[in-house]
Structure 1
């Protein structure tokens, strides 16, 4: 199609960089061009100096500059474990494929490895070294499993990029944890509905009846509604899911304002209308939760487990639940293992009781045919 004269005269619409920026990094647009700069304490009484960053937020140089300004050591010799770890983190940020929360998780969990092996060559590391760190975290199964998960991702990348010769986590199994995120009880759910207020209560309802991850719950809004459900791509796994709006949630949503664009969960008070991050919403939830005795110890992620169990009890298969909540089949099976065993046990008991109540079979007496000579 030949462009019209007015189409040629219209200014080009600038496309924003689709990337999550870390703390102290800010983006501005001036005359259609995009600029990034680093400044600590922006908006406070004592802001730091504003330092320009490289223009391309998807380049390793962009993130290397941020690391340096944040005080991270990137002067380690190139053949050390610490330098390879830095390269991995920089490439994760530059790719734009993972959320900032996931990358921060990797950064935090890898600090143990950096302290232990930072100045060593990565080629000298073996699974026994990773296992030794795991053994040192025997009293902290959660931290041990986080470390193992990070090392698995790092090892896969490092081997592909020829920094190591073998998988550093081969043969290492996660720690068993008796704690973790527990599902909420009926009493806890009722207490939350009754005593939580404002956007925090709305968020809990959204978590409960959808099973969404926190990173998705803070993004979902009216624009995601499609024929009685929420259709969206998950932030963490980039997986397309379709979550039906259950009758209980539909009833709650009748009082929600559907007119403004943006997510259902928006900040209140001084920052009214601003979007939430997963961490900020969790913090605001914790502030209200800690004032309610019935909710002691509960977590938002526990509601994800609660939602999965509710769907399983409703008769949905593990595959169907995965399509709704965007969770792996292994995780769903882990969440539902007790529920499935309990349901199976009840079914077996019902069958046993039914068999015991079955009336005994009455055997018919064999009829002896009389001979004519026996009849008097």
Structure 2
């Protein structure tokens, strides 16, 4: 709407909820952050109306108002809410004071088919029980002694070079898929930051953005391949990646769309050329792998990726060094074999 001074104003409106002003320009970081907060606030209000005092639902609603939760990045809040809201739907009417260790163990056993999800829930249940103790609703923690489900995983699948080549061969330059892929591969950022990127983040050939998850600012010189993709875009879009309807994409919507782009990579007979499990985050790992294989130090990789600790990136440099050492070892062995064959035996 236009105010009395002739300036445009934007508001968040939803039936049954108060109107909320949205600052800044549409799709700008400030605008989108306030929009996300408005959406999260609405969910909390909806939850309040369904709670009973002393219940799991009431505890979750209280945790949403805690300093620990409100201090989280918006992307982390969404992930936590997704888990807790499913738990509240199943157990929200139960009394916090009646929760016992055997109940937690039963919940974990029921989720044995998805150990990663079960362990994430257990971690949040520990947090909720600590909050309950702080509130005086409990004296003990029923999650104490409950073990995580054993499950070995390397996390998100890292894109290998043959995967990268196959995707780019199918989704040519000028397509949305090619643009999104280039942004992920040549910046090494998370999906939540990639969907926010726009021309306002670029200055003098450097893309700078504050990561939503960590608050870390990263400044990344734009790779020539990425620059070519960005130069071909319309100048009036505030975000580089737009939906088919011409709107910025949410992180979740972007991941769902990107998965379809991966599945679309097929040969002439319609057979898929890429394995299951390749995701936007897997390209972040591929960027780190590429940097390590190019000889970059852990600190140099961190300057691009925004990782907070050396431990998070050391695995890439260790793997790259191991490969280089192995290559040198095989080359030395081949050289020694060649020398042995050329040396004539003494008479």
TM-score, normalised by the number of residues in structure 1: 0.66
Change (3 A) 1:285 1:128: same
Confirm or deny that 1:229 pairs with 2:199: no
What is the alpha-carbon distance in structure 2 between the residues aligned to residue 37 and residue 327 of structure 1? 37
Query: Which residue of 1 is the match for residue 256 of structure 2?
Result: 283
Please state how far the C-alpha of 1:156 moved relative to its aligned partner: 5.9
Bigger relative contact order (CA 8 A; separation at least 6): 2
Query: Which residue of 2 is the match for residue 137 of structure 1?
Result: 111
Post-superposition CA distance 1:74-100 (Å, at most 9, x none): 44332223211122235589948532x
Answer whether contact 2:182 2:225 (CA < 8 A) is retained.
no
Answer whether contact 1:232 1:241 (CA < 8 A) is retained.
yes
Post-superposition CA distance 1:269-301 (Å, at most 9, x none): xx23x2122222223323333222213422222
Change (3 A) 1:127 1:353: farther
Answer whether contact 2:57 2:92 (CA < 8 A) is retained.
yes
Q: Alignment RMSD, CA only?
A: 4.1
What is the alpha-carbon distance in structure 1 between the residues aligned to residue 127 and residue 6 of structure 2? 40
Answer whether contact 1:229 1:242 (CA < 8 A) is retained.
yes
Please state how far the C-alpha of 1:240 moved relative to its aligned partner: 1.3
Selected match of 1:260 from 227, 233, 236: 236
Please state how far the C-alpha of 1:150 moved relative to its aligned partner: 3.2
Change (3 A) 1:137 1:97: closer
Query: Which residue of 2 is the match for residue 147 of structure 1?
Result: 121
1:62-81 matched pairs, under 5 angstroms: 66-67=43-44, 69=46, 72=47, 74-81=49-56
Selected match of 1:313 from 293, 297, 308: 293
Change (3 A) 1:185 1:114: same
Answer whether contact 2:201 2:209 (CA < 8 A) is retained.
yes
Change (3 A) 1:319 1:179: closer
- Which residues of structure 2 form unaligned runs of 5+? 23-33, 266-271, 341-347
What is the alpha-carbon distance in structure 2 between the residues aligned to residue 188 and residue 108 of structure 1? 31
Please state how far the C-alpha of 1:194 moved relative to its aligned partner: 1.9
Query: Which residue of 2 is the match for residue 181 of structure 1?
Result: 156
Query: Which residue of 2 is the match for residue 192 of structure 1?
Result: 167
TM-score, normalised by the number of residues in structure 2: 0.71
Q: How many pairs does the alignment contain?
A: 313
Selected match of 1:86 from 46, 61, 67: 61
What is the alpha-carbon distance in structure 2 between the residues aligned to residue 169 and residue 355 of structure 1? 60
Query: Which residue of 2 is the match for residue 364 of structure 1?
Result: none
Answer whether contact 2:54 2:95 (CA < 8 A) is retained.
yes
Q: The residue matched to 1:110 in structure 2 has which SS?
A: helix
Please state how far the C-alpha of 1:134 moved relative to its aligned partner: 3.6
Q: The residue matched to 2:273 in structure 1 has which SS?
A: helix
Query: Which residue of 1 is the match for residue 27 of structure 2?
Result: none
Please state how far the C-alpha of 1:354 moved relative to its aligned partner: 7.4
Query: Which residue of 1 is the match for residue 197 of structure 2?
Result: 220
Answer whether contact 2:158 2:282 (CA < 8 A) is retained.
yes
Change (3 A) 1:63 1:316: closer
Please state how far the C-alpha of 1:106 moved relative to its aligned partner: 1.6
Deviates more, 1:230-239 or 1:206-215: 230-239
Answer whether contact 1:67 1:74 (CA < 8 A) is retained.
no
- Which residues of structure 1 form unaligned runs of 5+? 1-9, 17-26, 29-35, 39-49, 360-376
What is the alpha-carbon distance in structure 1 between the residues aligned to residue 76 and residue 6 of structure 2? 34
Query: Which residue of 1 is the match for residue 29 of structure 2?
Result: none
Q: The residue matched to 1:243 in structure 2 has which SS?
A: strand
Answer whether contact 1:37 1:53 (CA < 8 A) is retained.
yes
Confirm or deny that 1:109 pairs with 2:76: no
Query: Which residue of 1 is the match for residue 274 of structure 2?
Result: 295
Change (3 A) 1:267 1:168: same
